[in-house]
Chains A and B, each alone.
Chain A
Amino acid sequence: MALDITTGRPWPALLDLPWSLPLEEWPEDLLAALPRGISRHVVRFVRIEGRVIAIKEIKADLARREYEMLRALRRLNEPTVEAVGVVTGRVARDGRPLDACLLTRHLQFSLPYRAMLSQSLRKDTADRLIDALAVLLVRLHLVGFFWGDVSLSNTLFKRNAGEFAAYLVDAETGELHQSSLSRGQRLHDLDIARVNIAGELMDLQAGGFVDLDIDPLVVSERIISRYDELWDVLTATEKFEYGNRWQVDERIRKLNDAGFDVGELDITTDIDGTSIQIQPKIVDAGHHCRRLLRLTGLDVEDNQARRLLNDLDSFRAATDRQNEDEELVAHDWLNRIYEPITRTVPRELRGKLEPAEIFHEVLEHRWYMSEQAKKDIAIEEAVKDYVKNVLPHKPDERSVVGVDTEELPVRAKE
């Protein structure tokens, strides 16, 4: 049988990989990192044309299905890893057929939950991971995706200005429905999520990687409450008196706060016109990052965008340019504040955090410095101190591809 590579990326180097060897036997010098732990499937990380690619050995029909699904979700702007390709028709040297391979691109600066939890000194890290997962699950459900295996380990997390942003990694059990999901499907996903999260936390505790005063049951219940809250803000029907029309604005503000824009709002009045009923019909995630992208061309996570936009607003106030065109002010802020600050970071430290996250940390750092000095500290001064005293002590997070349970974390070789 001939090798068949389906890919959206024309990378000739794909052809040079030893497809006739079972993934388990690929030579070490080819791998970007060594895999650890128990996994359902064999997974290996390799570097192709400068990018880290995850390769999973799996049945051909499942590989194709997951590939199509990940691509469909990305077309819908859902946060998922990028499916790079599917390799089928693999044959071992002795003529034995080998399983197909699904290739996904490693998400830069993302971390597995175990790395997040084991590195963190903050007690609420687990809660913030769950919050991010709840947002992801709500977003996926809104587009009709039933996950079927919601868990922390099937998710990757990126730092998001003090919060986390969650990305779907494993869509093997997922189904993308044409119509909206039934309540039963949503509840089932939530139930699976809860059991998996509790199990994952109990496991980390059993291994001594997470503080015993975290209660896995309490943390896992949070996925349900956070999901319900957000689902309600995004989809519930609200009814109020005609005179209280400000509540329409209030609802939209709540949606924006949650990071969503309203694409379509259904407004109906009753026959005598005394009450109004509203229900959001289409909502889009990324309220803040869309605005930032439009103003500056920066593509960052939503909470990072919120943070940057706040700084942009302060810049505007400080320079007394409230009446000027927003785009012009944003352009100046980008050239005079954001880029100089993020460029201050020397090349060797750029693998630590993404620029937008560094900018967020510098703002935090400036706040601490100001508080200690009991006076305003300039951002230029804050960034110097941050690069000298804080950033060098942070771990490199650009290419963390997995977590060893003994020795954390596992990084891709540069």
Chain B
Amino acid sequence: MATVTYDEATRVYPGATTPSVDKLNIDIQDGEFLVLVGPSGSGKSTALRMLAGLEEVNSGRILIGDRDVTRLSPKERDVAMVFQNYALYPHMTVADNMGFALKIAGVDKGEIRKRVEEAAKILDLEPYLDRKPKQLSGGQRQRVAMGRAIVRSPQVFLMDEPLSNLDAKLRVQTRTQIASLQRRLGVTTVYVTHDQVEAMTMGDRVAVLKDGVLQQCDTPRRMYDHPDNVFVAGFIGSPAMNLMKLPVTDGGVQLGNGTYPIERGVLNGAREVTFGVRPEDMTPATDGSGLPVEVDVVEELGADAYVYGRVPGSEATATPIVARVDGRQVPQKGETVHFVPKGDHVHLFDVESGARLGG
């Protein structure tokens, strides 16, 4: 087990003008589950592959524990790429399916059996060790495949979109399994996904990347409650945070026909500000104050409903405003509802730089 350190790690592809990963700095704790997330082209997979030894590091370093692995081959790094495309061998027992790679690595028989049994215990596969894969269920087969990586007891597990070829139901199931397994094993894990829900539900910490640059690395809670910039604010959370460019007025920003009060110091003399409120932090106002929203669609989920609409007079192509409302008090389509932010659950960002304003 080990820590992992990205120290100013940079990857520039030959012929490219901008780095695919730009001066990445992350300290991953021993036993931590870190998720790299971002849209396509964000550099998340490249960052993982730099750690795996598949992509060259052009500048900076990568450490596993205290060992500088920047120039080592993938094999010398003692990491395991856990990859879903494991074939199971039909004529070999479950135990042999899990342990055969150790045989190749020259580990002696007794030690192989010991490690296989330990892994089988963690994976609830103990009763099946002497069976053939054909006699197992789909889920059990998948656990055998995971067992193959576990018995190697690597310093770090690496997973690159391991759930992408599963259907939605199995994906949720396997997601939970991987997360709980990782916690039981306590092996440092770096996991790549484009799916922010996956990132938020699995990671101890989540690192959001965009255009090769780390935007924020925090716990899911902190990331959700305190996005460092407007990109993270919009990327994390589903449905996404409402982000509106609003004019600054005396004592705050102009929201609908009123003013949402903000301390002068926070706004830093700006004339406009990006104002963010999550859908669940939008409360219908009964007194006609706040942001008017003309309802386009109501998505009923039972206990709650999501209201999608537009500020009257805004362009039809504008990103819709989303609010979560009580499922028992749902507005009608075409109705105009006024919303005010709940308490101080408001996020402010600089219009130019996108950086968070205030605390």
Contacts and interface: CB of A to CB of B under 8 A. Distances in A.
A62 interface: yes
A268 B37 CA distance: 46
Contact of A188 (B74, B165, B167): B74
Contacts of A148: 83, 85
Given A187-B53, A191-B74, A202-B103, 15 more contacts: A38-B87, A38-B88, A38-B133, A59-B165, A179-B13, A182-B55, A183-B73, A187-B73, A188-B74, A191-B75, A198-B100, A198-B104, A208-B91, A217-B103, A405-B91
Contacts of A220: 104
Given A182-B55, A184-B54, A184-B56, A207 B100 contact: no
A99 B166 CA distance: 11
Interface string B39-83: 000000000000011111000000000000000011100000101
A90 interface: no
A217 B104 contact: yes
Contacts of B87: 38, 40, 151, 153, 196, 199
A203 B52 CA distance: 28
B164 to A, nearest CB: 8
Contacts of A183: 73
A390 B74 CA distance: 49
Contacts of A195: 101, 104
A129 interface: no
Interface of B: 13-15, 52-56, 73-75, 81, 83, 85, 87-92, 96, 100-101, 103-104, 133-134, 141, 164-165, 167
A37 B54 contact: no
Nearest to A209: B91
Contact of B73 (A172, A184, A203): A184
Nearest to B134: A38
Question: Which one of A58, A62, A187, A196 has the highest number of Cβ atoms from chain B below 10 Å of its Cβ?
Answer: A187
Given A184-B74, A188-B54, A199 B100 contact: yes
B101 A199 contact: yes
A172 B87 CA distance: 13
22 contacts: A37-B90, A149-B85, A173-B83, A179-B13, A182-B54, A182-B55, A184-B53, A187-B53, A187-B74, A188-B74, A191-B75, A195-B104, A199-B92, A202-B89, A202-B96, A203-B90, A204-B91, A206-B89, A206-B96, A217-B103, A217-B104, A405-B91
A172 B85 contact: yes
Contacts of A405: 90-91
A68 B104 CA distance: 35
Interface of A: 37-38, 40, 58-59, 62, 99, 146, 148-149, 151, 153, 172-173, 178-179, 182-185, 187-188, 191, 194-196, 198-200, 202-204, 206-208, 217, 220, 405
Given A188-B53, A188-B54, A199-B101, A207 B13 contact: no
A184 B55 contact: yes
Contacts of A59: 164-165
Contacts of B92: 199, 202-203, 206
Which 7 pairs from chain A and chain B are nearest by CB?
A207-B91, A203-B89, A206-B91, A184-B53, A179-B14, A188-B74, A184-B54
Contacts of B90: 37-38, 203, 207, 405
Q: Secondary structure at chain B's binding surface: helix, strand, loop or mixed?
A: loop
Contacts of A172: 85
B287 to A, nearest CB: 46
Q: Which of B52, B90, B167: most chain A Cβ within 10 A?
A: B90
A227 to B, nearest CB: 14
A188 B52 contact: yes
A37 B89 CA distance: 10
Q: Which of A37, A38, A59, A199 has the most CB of B within 10 A?
A: A199
A179 B74 contact: no
A388 B83 CA distance: 51
A59 B103 CA distance: 34
A182 B14 CA distance: 11
A220 B106 CA distance: 13
A172 B54 CA distance: 18
Contacts of B104: 194-195, 198, 217, 220
B89 A200 contact: yes
B89 A173 contact: no
B100 A187 contact: no
Contacts of A37: 90
Nearest to B77: A184
Contacts of B141: 38
B15 to A, nearest CB: 7
Contacts of A58: 165
Nearest to B141: A38
B85 A199 contact: no
Contacts of A62: 164-165
Nearest to B13: A179
B112 to A, nearest CB: 13
B290 to A, nearest CB: 40
B77 to A, nearest CB: 9
A283 to B, nearest CB: 20
Contacts of A153: 87
Given A184-B54, A188-B52, A405-B91, A173 B14 contact: no
A178 B15 CA distance: 10
A83 B6 CA distance: 40
Nearest to A221: B104
A208 B101 CA distance: 20
A203 B91 contact: yes
Contacts of A198: 100, 103-104
B85 A173 contact: yes
A58 B166 CA distance: 9
A229 B244 CA distance: 62
A182 B75 CA distance: 14
Q: Which of B54, B55, B164 has the most CB of A within 10 A?
A: B54
B246 to A, nearest CB: 38
Nearest to A180: B14
A59 B166 CA distance: 8
Nearest to A185: B54
A218 B27 CA distance: 41
Given A173-B83, A184-B56, A220-B104, A199 B13 contact: no
B43 to A, nearest CB: 15
B219 to A, nearest CB: 31
Contacts of A188: 52-54, 74-75, 81
A200 B88 CA distance: 9
Nearest to A149: B85
A99 B83 CA distance: 21
A306 to B, nearest CB: 34
